[in-house]
Each structure stands twice: as C-alpha cells, then as structure tokens.
Structure 1
C-alpha cells in the first residue's frame, strides 16, 4: 500500500477582499434557501475493516500523511463553521477511532459554541475500539454515537468485512448501551443476497441494546466503482420486510435528518431508513463535509471540492478566507445528487476517503 496525494477538481474560491464574499459569521445558506447546520469531519481514510461495499481488501492508495489535517487545523475550520451557524459536528472516517488524538479532537470541538449555543459532537464508528476509549470520549463531551453493524452472523461478517471482528463490534455496542449516550443508533447497509434476511433480527438486536436501527440503501460510493443498483435493497423492500413483524407508523417532522423514521407498534421504539437512492432528501439537506485532507464537499456524491489546506497552512491564514471558502462551497451546491439521471458520475473518491 502506497501513500499518495489525491488531487481532485476544486471549486472557485472567494478571497477575504472580495466585496461579494459574505462576512465572517454569516449563516451558510445556499441558492435554494437551505441553511447548513451540520459539518461532517473525516479524521482519516484508513479503516480496521475492508467492507466489500466500501474498499478493496488490498491495494488501497491512502492519503499522504502530510496532507492529513492536524487537530489544530480541524479546530480552526470548526471555529469558523460554528460562528457561521454549524451546530453539529459528526466525526467520521474511514474509522475515526484509529486517530490517536480522537479524545482531544472531541474535547476541543465540544468546547465550541455557535450563535445558538453549544455545539453537539457526534461520532460514527465501526465500534471495534469503542469499549477501550468510550469513557474518555464521554468525559471529553461526546454527545451521540452511530455504530455500524451489517450482520449478526460471524461467517457472514467475516466475508463482508474481510476481518473476523464481530465480537469486538458487539462489545463496542454493549459498551455504548451501558454508557447512557442517547439516542444510540446502529447502522446497516441493506444488501441483496447478503443480509436482506436479517433485517428483522437486526432491529430486534438494536432494541435489546436500547438503540435505534437504521437501514441504509447501498449507494454508489465504493472505491472499486462496482456498485450495481440491482443488488440494492430498496426502501420499500426494507419496510415490507419489517412490516412482517411490526406495524410501522411514520414519524412526522423529519426536517433535514437523513433518516425517515417509523414507530414500531406505536412506539416509543423506532426504526429509520436512509433512502438516498430511491427517495432522496436533497431538498432539506443541511450538511457539508470536510475530508481528512482538508477538502470541503457540499454533497456526498459530488466531484467538486473546495481546498482549505493552502489556507490552513499559509503564513497568514486568518478566519476570513476560511469563511469565504465555506460560503463558496455552499453557493456551489446543486439542488440534488441526480443518482437516477443518466449523466450521473460516481464520485472519484470512495466512501472511506470522503467521510460519512
């Protein structure tokens, strides 16, 4: 495996001197009136698993270590973002718990405030190191957790992730359930011929751990570009499978949340479905993404990136150029990702390099 710098097309930037550039602290509102309040920060492109829908088992070209943002650089971007109305920072990867300074990252982000008050810090993880670091993360100010688990079957897990780590994942989930962090969410990518027969069992497992199961339609974000829509289990199929066990009642007031939620047998327990392909929710999207190497992205499926690295590593960086780049990124956001359009092009980067 070779570490190489990754260069993608970058969007236009606005300088601090540009009279049309929004002032520092102005809300991040795009051309369609969507107010952005969520920044997903990838801490690394590396992962302790090799899920077949995400990356190859071998031959991955990792980001050059010199391009990875330091904690100070992450916090500088987050400070500007919080001043511009970002209220939630979600730490992703790769696997964010592989980052040695993960507790310090959480602590420093949790200390930030937006104009509406203290920010929230969330984490999406495969759970493998969670039992080891969770007490320190909670003490540092972590608010919410999402843990990925696609199957409860050991052989199937090993085949899907190419690693025999199911016991570690389950231990991490047990630690999260005991931690008191709520809401606790478990994520599974629904895949035809892989785990579509486990959907009910996964929900039952989540309920046993006082967690909410969320099923995700498989998206065209694998590094090998082998995504096949025919292998994707759709939203309607997921709901039909769950309806064999529970009555499902839609929960109103979704807002910008990616998951469409349903009460199980009248509640209070619920299940979520993230149907990015068959029922996209772009019209209410309030999310931006920062890759581990300092690229801003306004859509998970975009190939446009707005490079913050030169600004962060210049001799006189300041906050205004960072704010201008954030606003430029938001201004360039399209109304939707157009996965169903024949002209759709899968992102050059895989999910592990973009961040969830």
Structure 2
C-alpha cells in the first residue's frame, strides 16, 4: 500500500471530509448572522465521494470523519456513510454534528455505519446554550446522547469551544456531567478566523489554563493513538469520562499532524488555515481516473507546511469554520 507522507515525515491516516458548507445553527464564534453564503447544492455527489475516499484509502487513510457545516443537512447523509463504510481499508467512519434532531435520527446514523460521533455542546446551561448557538435545543441534544447509549454506543465525544464570557466558569459542571458517563469532553481553544477578529480578541481563553486545573486535580495525560484527532486527552481514576484539550496556539501543535481535509466542493485543504485548497474534483468523474487522482494527492502533500501560523494572526482562506468543518 502507498502511504501519504510529507516532507517532514508526517503520515496521514485520517481524513476530514466536509459534505456541505451549510449550517442551520448561528453559533456566535462561527456564524453569528447565520449561514448567508453556501454552496450546498454544488457539493460532491455520492459517486464523487466514493471515488475520493477510495483513492485516499489506497494511500493509507483508515479513518474518515464526515463534517460540514452540519453534515446531516445532506438528505443523502446515510447513503454517504454506508458508501464510505464499504470502501476497503476504511476502518472508522466518524461524524461531527451540532446535534440537530439527533434524538430522532441517531438510530438511522448508526444503522448506516457511523462508528463514532462528536457533538457540539458549548454549555450545559439551557440559556447559555441558546445564547451561543441561537437555538433552544440543549435537551434535544442530550436526549440524543442518551438514545445513543441505549442503542449500544460505547461513548461520545463532546466539543465545547472555550470562551471567556460564556463557559469559562463551567468546568465543574462539565466534570460532574462526565463523572459517571463514558463521554470524552473536548475543550477547544477559540481560533481566530477571517470573520471573527473582534470576538476572538474579547473571548479567547488559552487552553493551558484548563490543563493546569486538570493536572492540579489529579488528571493524567493519555498517550495518543496514531489515527486520533488533535486533542490531548486526560483521564482520572474517579471518572468514567475523559477530558480532551485542543490547543492550536501551542508551539508544538502541528508537529504530529496526521489529518487532511477535503471541502464539500472537492478541494484538498492541507491545513485548516491554509491559504488555498487544491482542486481534485475534475479527477472524480470516473473510476478510470484513480491513478491520476492518487498521483495528484501525493504531489500536493509535498506542499504541506510545517505549521499553521495562527500565532502570527494568519487565518488563510478560512473565513468561518463552517466552510471546512473545523
């Protein structure tokens, strides 16, 4: 099997695939005015996705995370999951969702082949959740997690973006929530994008502040699996759940990068904050184009840089995280 490897020797078993840039939430750190511009109807077709993932699987990708926007807004979502699941070499199909109607639909997701679910819950307070997301749907999301456990899900990952004025004081509530549940709660450091500079300046909270609180309370860092995401995970013997920290402003954050991204329009994004995407869509029109597609991907990987330059205020072409799914 061919293996994707860049000039720094980093390998890439993990692909994040956006299947739409449309989102129906209005999170204040991402789309405070709602999704005004999107290319939902021009998104990759199911056949194009099959060809894309088949090529990446031949290059050593084992894990695919389906993202958006909100990926479940695609009416073919379950078809996309089952298609990817059947591709030889793909071991894990994960998804990231805002939890919209999750309580009603999670059973169909699991039947389609979803292996792992990340869901965003930025506050466990209903009023705080509504303030952040623009929707009074916290209980709906929590019910979705409960339903998932009833259906046999071994655990969930829950994403919460750290913000000074919204949830920075809610760590005790989150810890109490995961004490008896197999939930990995991932605190994500707020990232600056092209459209949120003022909000970032007001709300950014360094993830190291949470790390210090955890270490002082007996939490211990876990060794990361080769196909894991960017979170540094911590466990505590008194808790069933775990804590993950995603701290993109840490100086060594990019050293062990193992993931690539493809946009809903078929552009390979070498970094979340890359200046441009590299088009693959013209080579997704027939199965006979696989050799050329594989060669193009391998050539583009050599353009991947050693870091993202976020600490210098560079946000590349990422205006909002909904463009490429974070």
| TM-score clears 0.5 | yes
- Aligned pair in 2 of structure 1 residues 262, 279: CA closer, same or farther (>3 Å)? farther
**1:46 has 2:22 as partner:** yes
**Aligned pairs (5 A) from 1:26-175:** 26-58=2-34, 60-63=36-39, 65=41, 67-114=42-89, 118-175=90-147
- Cα distance in 1 for residues equivalent to 2:12 and 2:109: 26
- Cα distance in 2 for residues equivalent to 1:351 and 1:257: 17
Partner of 2:267: 295
**Aligned pairs (5 A) from 1:234-273:** 234-242=206-214, 246-253=217-224, 255=226, 257-265=229-237, 269-273=241-245
**1:214 has 2:166 as partner:** no
Check the 8 A contact 1:192/1:231 in 2, yes or no: yes
**1:189 has 2:165 as partner:** no
Any stretches of 5+ residues in structure 2 without a counterpart?
Answer: none
Check the 8 A contact 1:177/1:209 in 2, yes or no: no
Query: Which string of whole-angstrom CA distances, capped at 9 and with x for unpartnered residues, describes residues 190-236 of structure 1?
Result: 10111101122123223444211111101123644445255222122
- Cα distance in 2 for residues equivalent to 1:110 and 1:206: 30
- Cα distance in 2 for residues equivalent to 1:140 and 1:309: 25
- Cα distance in 2 for residues equivalent to 1:309 and 1:295: 7
**1:347 has 2:317 as partner:** yes
- Cα distance in 1 for residues equivalent to 2:72 and 2:153: 17
- Cα distance in 2 for residues equivalent to 1:209 and 1:290: 33
Check the 8 A contact 1:183/1:211 in 2, yes or no: yes
Deviates more, 1:280-289 or 1:197-206: 197-206
Deviates more, 1:134-143 or 1:188-197: 134-143
Any stretches of 5+ residues in structure 1 without a counterpart?
Answer: 1-24
- Deviation, 1:64, is 5.6
Query: Which string of whole-angstrom CA distances, capped at 9 and with x for unpartnered residues, describes residues 220-265 of structure 1?
Result: 2364444525522212211244467x42112234556411111124
- Cα distance in 1 for residues equivalent to 2:77 and 2:40: 19
Check the 8 A contact 1:96/1:124 in 2, yes or no: yes
- Deviation, 1:280, is 4.3
- Aligned pair in 2 of structure 1 residues 308, 196: CA closer, same or farther (>3 Å)? same
* Higher relative contact order (Cα pairs below 8 Å, separated by 6+ residues): 1
- Cα distance in 1 for residues equivalent to 2:173 and 2:165: 16
Aligned length: 325
Partner of 2:205: 233
**Aligned pairs (5 A) from 1:311-350:** 311-313=283-285, 318-341=289-312, 344-350=314-320
- SS of 1:147 mapped into structure 2: strand
- Cα distance in 1 for residues equivalent to 2:140 and 2:223: 36
- SS of 1:34 mapped into structure 2: coil
- Cα distance in 2 for residues equivalent to 1:311 and 1:68: 15
**1:284 has 2:259 as partner:** no
Check the 8 A contact 2:190/2:205 in 1, yes or no: yes
- Cα distance in 2 for residues equivalent to 1:64 and 1:250: 40
- SS of 2:191 mapped into structure 1: coil
Deviates more, 1:132-141 or 1:99-108: 132-141
Aligned partner of 1:304 among 253, 258, 276: 276
- Cα distance in 1 for residues equivalent to 2:194 and 2:146: 29
